[in-house]
Structure 1
Amino acid sequence: MNSHHQPSTTQAETSPQANPGRWLALAVLVCAVLLVGIDATVLGLATPFLGEDLRPSGTQLLWIGDIYSFVIAGLLVTMGSLGDRIGRKKLLLVGAAAFGLVSVGTAYAHSAEAMIVWRALLGVAGATLMPSTLALIRNLFPDPRERSFAVGVWAAMTSAGAAVGPVVGGFLLEHFWWGSVFLINLPVMAVLLVVGARVLPESRNPAPGPWDLPSVLLSMTGIVAVVYAVKEGALYGARLDVLGAAAAGVLLLAVFVRRQLRLPAPLLNMRLFRHRGFSGAVLADLLTILGLAGLIFFLSQFLQLVQGRSPLEAGVAELPAALGSVTAGLLAGRIARRTSVRGAVSVGLAAVALAMGSCAWLAQDTGYWLLGPILLLVGLGAGLAFTVTADVILSSVPKEEAGAASAVSETAYELGVALGIAVLGSIVTGIYRGFALPAQVSEAAAEEARGSLGGAVEVAAGLPGQAGDALLDAAREAFTDGLRTAASLSAVVLAAAAVLAWYLLRGQRLEESPEKAAAPAAEPAA
């Protein structure tokens, strides 16, 4: 018998009546979200310094950027289901401790290869945090309006992490070495562990069934193989290993789905996808992040290496996106109830598409009069869309399966990040590599200059006067050209996501009671 048939009243300890401290518990949960949000944004800011010190190749730089998301994407379903079984509080606290410890290792990485390994381990720890926080919110707030606001706070704090990361990171990068940006995770982890252990209620699925190891292995290897194939295919074309990885990944995921449909207690209840609102929300998340991630990853490099801003100035310049997202996240539930779910999500995605399309006019000397409004619009649109889709996903499932459902949501998010950096990042890198070099540049120096924009800055510094200026100008123009192309493609993807959301989320509402919201997901499995 599937676990989602269990009544939703089996977890009285997490009901708001039994837990008047739920708002304090929420405050602790968003610490974990801040942790992950900060870590994601400071990497982009630290990339020029990291490149100078560790000297990664262009490919290694992409791996440093997206290995974290690859690992998280591969593990989220497993960790979400694990939290449902062993307890979400327990998994969250163990993950937070591991995240803090691995952050120390990341800060002191001594080579590009070591940095990739530490970022992968950080992904393992990060995979325990995100599904646990959303699942605990689902159980702490069965009242739909309270839950909408709580999800809005959760989404807003994700953006606050994005806001705090660049500013604090910028300050640290101007006064300390690049590794210091990863050490800011430690105080957040300490608060989460000390306070969370006291105020968070434990919650789990009361009848989860046995742990299915083959399903764990199938989901992990299948997702990682598919993402690897996309990444390498974007960089090097349809090589034999890329085609092999793609075929193997699709086959493994097909076997995983087939196995889940046959198991009495699956790792992931695939019948949830028969609920159109659930599927639509997940797909909207995936396409949105795919459109955003690659561009955001390269924006910090544009602000610093192309426009010559200091790390702190670049961090402050990115603040409008985070502030817009925080504002929209807190108001999203009210907006969706007064208009419609599909209207809120589609308008949010269309706004981000418009902002991305405006980036087609970016130039080396583009003023902040264009950049600032673009970033604000990105934040407002993404904050509105993400908060509403997260609410839809949570309210579409029985709370016993909140961990698994949250993991699906987060897997879409992380998969989008990985694919966005891989595909859009590869477009930027591919266009950048084609720029012409002055005759004075040696073959070795030319390779370094074409490897990354940071490398070109270093090579230019070692050339006499006009040759160095010419190299730097050509490299910056090539990088900006790549950014414009990637932004234009992002706009197309996001516009398509807006149309899909309008179709798939029709009739979806937020004001249903938890019991009614669970019903559509449970009916097809009967």
Structure 2
Amino acid sequence: MLMPSTLSLLRSIFRDRDERRLAIAVWASGFSAGAALGPIVGGFLLEHFSWGSVFLMAVPVLVPLLVLAPFFVPESRDPAPGRFDPVSVLLSLATMVPIVYGIKKLAVDGPTLTVGALFVAGVVFGWLFVRRQRTLPSPMLDMTLFRRGTFSGAILVNLLSVVGLVGFLYFVAQHLQLVVGLTPMVAGFALVPGLALMIVSGLAVVPVAKRFPPRVVVPVALGFSVVAYVMVALSTADLALLIIAFALLGIGIGAAETVSNELILSSAPAAKAGAASAVSETAYEVGAVLGTAVLGGILAAFYRAQLVLPAGLPDAAADAARETLAGAVAVSHTLDDATLAESLRVAAAHAFDSGVVVTALIGAGLIVVAAVIAATTLGGTRGASTK
């Protein structure tokens, strides 16, 4: 709820396009900085306090926000917002829930009638949602925004970029902690260079975007992310390589999303800035869900297919080990036989990294698709200043 509101405010506060592009870069940097601090602070809390303490991290930040926001944040609203439509909300939920659940079931059980029924249900409810938006006088989601090629292209770039970013974080976090053996806090520090470069690239791309068109800037930026995924596919054994790969991914995502978010705002009418920002945020959230569900599901499926359990493992331990890498590592610490425990950890790590290779190549393919979309839809004019 915060992200669409804050992004739409930038449209009303910064009328000059150059200023707005820089403001969006700073806005995105705030989220990247939070992403950098989150694993470190969370890791510290997990090492010294109960796991429930991580839910208290937001309180010292949110309390000042609640107090100060009414004084410092200017009001901005759609002059004709229309009525709230609960049916549209229910249809949107009915679209996403079965599709995401179907993806998770597909990863665990493979193709089944249940999975097919879930996908069909999601598609049907999605069609009903779109149909309702087209008939309502004040739709929850203005479908006419998608007729603008730049808007739709930038949304797809955001979605696929987040799929790639979250999918990368999904397996690199597990690899650092469960395969390499780093503590949660140290693993968080290992991700800091990539997140820092995400911030730097998001700010550095602002003057570049003034000189070169987005159909050039965004694909070039995403090229860094493709290289990152290919590096991971070639080798996951080298910790330094993983850190460098995540740094390259951060450079690409940070630069591309600064440009694409600015295009989303500038391509929509000023009165629809809130709706455009909401669609952009929805793309982020859907990308995060799909990054975890699709890439995570594929990784989990390959892990189970490639896992060769050592002989002599108890049935209960074997069942837990087949579920996830974390399950295998946790079970290994309960075994009395040190040799058997080490064999289980080695087998689980090998199966996990085998899945990482395939998942990384799929992630690279998704980023390539995003680059092609950017090259063909984001236009060929430089982002000149416009009031």
What's the TM-score once normalised by structure 2's chain length? 0.95
8 Å Cα contact 2:212/2:381 also seen in 1: no
C-alpha separation in 2, matches of 1:225 and 1:432: 24
C-alpha separation in 2, matches of 1:455 and 1:256: 39
The alpha-carbon deviation at position 450 of structure 1 amounts to: 1.7
8 Å Cα contact 1:295/1:425 also seen in 2: no
Classify the secondary structure of the residue corresponding to 2:308.
coil
Q: Please name the residue that 1:443 is paired with.
A: 315
8 Å Cα contact 2:18/2:385 also seen in 1: no
Alignment of 1:87-486 (within 5 A): 128-363=1-236, 365-368=237-240, 370-434=241-305, 435-461=307-333, 462-486=335-359
8 Å Cα contact 1:391/1:510 also seen in 2: no
C-alpha separation in 2, matches of 1:355 and 1:482: 17
**After the TM superposition, which of the residue ranges 450-459 and 393-402 deviates more from structure 2?**
450-459
8 Å Cα contact 2:194/2:247 also seen in 1: yes
8 Å Cα contact 1:295/1:483 also seen in 2: no
The alpha-carbon deviation at position 399 of structure 1 amounts to: 2.3
**Pair 512,216 (structure 1): closer, same or farther in 2 beyond 3 Å:** farther
Classify the secondary structure of the residue corresponding to 1:318.
helix
The alpha-carbon deviation at position 294 of structure 1 amounts to: 1.9
How much is the aligned-residue C-alpha RMSD, in angstroms?
Answer: 1.7
C-alpha separation in 2, matches of 1:216 and 1:448: 38
8 Å Cα contact 1:450/1:456 also seen in 2: yes
**Pair 181,211 (structure 1): closer, same or farther in 2 beyond 3 Å:** closer
- How many residues are matched? 385
8 Å Cα contact 1:222/1:250 also seen in 2: yes
C-alpha separation in 1, matches of 2:174 and 2:53: 19
The alpha-carbon deviation at position 280 of structure 1 amounts to: 0.5
C-alpha separation in 2, matches of 1:397 and 1:417: 24
C-alpha separation in 1, matches of 2:326 and 2:108: 19
The alpha-carbon deviation at position 457 of structure 1 amounts to: 1.8
The alpha-carbon deviation at position 336 of structure 1 amounts to: 1.2
C-alpha separation in 1, matches of 2:174 and 2:138: 47
8 Å Cα contact 2:328/2:345 also seen in 1: yes
C-alpha separation in 1, matches of 2:339 and 2:383: 62
Counterpart amino acid of residue 327 in structure 2 = G
8 Å Cα contact 2:103/2:297 also seen in 1: no
C-alpha separation in 2, matches of 1:465 and 1:366: 26
8 Å Cα contact 2:42/2:54 also seen in 1: yes
Alignment of 1:493-508 (within 5 A): 493-508=366-381
Structure 1: which 5+ residue stretches go unaligned?
Answer: 1-127, 515-526
8 Å Cα contact 1:277/1:508 also seen in 2: no
The alpha-carbon deviation at position 256 of structure 1 amounts to: 2.1
C-alpha separation in 2, matches of 1:508 and 1:249: 38
Percent identity between the two aligned chains: 46
8 Å Cα contact 2:230/2:361 also seen in 1: yes
8 Å Cα contact 2:107/2:300 also seen in 1: no
**Pair 509,252 (structure 1): closer, same or farther in 2 beyond 3 Å:** farther
8 Å Cα contact 1:325/1:384 also seen in 2: yes
The alpha-carbon deviation at position 512 of structure 1 amounts to: 5.0
The alpha-carbon deviation at position 292 of structure 1 amounts to: 2.5
**Pair 211,459 (structure 1): closer, same or farther in 2 beyond 3 Å:** closer
The alpha-carbon deviation at position 508 of structure 1 amounts to: 5.0
Classify the secondary structure of the residue corresponding to 2:384.
coil
Q: Deviations over 1:466-500 (max 9, x none)?
A: 11111111111111111222111101111121112
8 Å Cα contact 2:158/2:280 also seen in 1: yes
8 Å Cα contact 2:211/2:382 also seen in 1: no
Structure 2: which 5+ residue stretches go unaligned?
Answer: none
**Pair 179,298 (structure 1): closer, same or farther in 2 beyond 3 Å:** farther
Runs of 4+ in 1 over 4 A off after TM superposition: none
C-alpha separation in 1, matches of 2:354 and 2:188: 22
The alpha-carbon deviation at position 183 of structure 1 amounts to: 1.3
Classify the secondary structure of the residue corresponding to 2:51.
coil
Q: Deviations over 1:214-249 (max 9, x none)?
A: 323222322333333333234323322322222222
Counterpart amino acid of residue 475 in structure 1 = A
The alpha-carbon deviation at position 330 of structure 1 amounts to: 1.2
What's the TM-score once normalised by structure 1's chain length? 0.70
Counterpart amino acid of residue 451 in structure 1 = E
8 Å Cα contact 1:336/1:510 also seen in 2: yes
C-alpha separation in 1, matches of 2:134 and 2:382: 28
8 Å Cα contact 2:78/2:272 also seen in 1: yes
C-alpha separation in 2, matches of 1:458 and 1:277: 48
The alpha-carbon deviation at position 194 of structure 1 amounts to: 1.2
C-alpha separation in 2, matches of 1:170 and 1:209: 44
Alignment of 1:62-101 (within 5 A): none
Counterpart amino acid of residue 172 in structure 2 = L
Q: Please name the residue that 1:61 is paired with.
A: none
Classify the secondary structure of the residue corresponding to 2:290.
helix
Task: Find the partner of 1:491 among 358, 364, 376.
Answer: 364
The alpha-carbon deviation at position 335 of structure 1 amounts to: 1.3
Q: Deviations over 1:445-467 (max 9, x none)?
A: 10112222222122222231211
Larger RCO (CA within 8 A; separation ≥ 6): 2
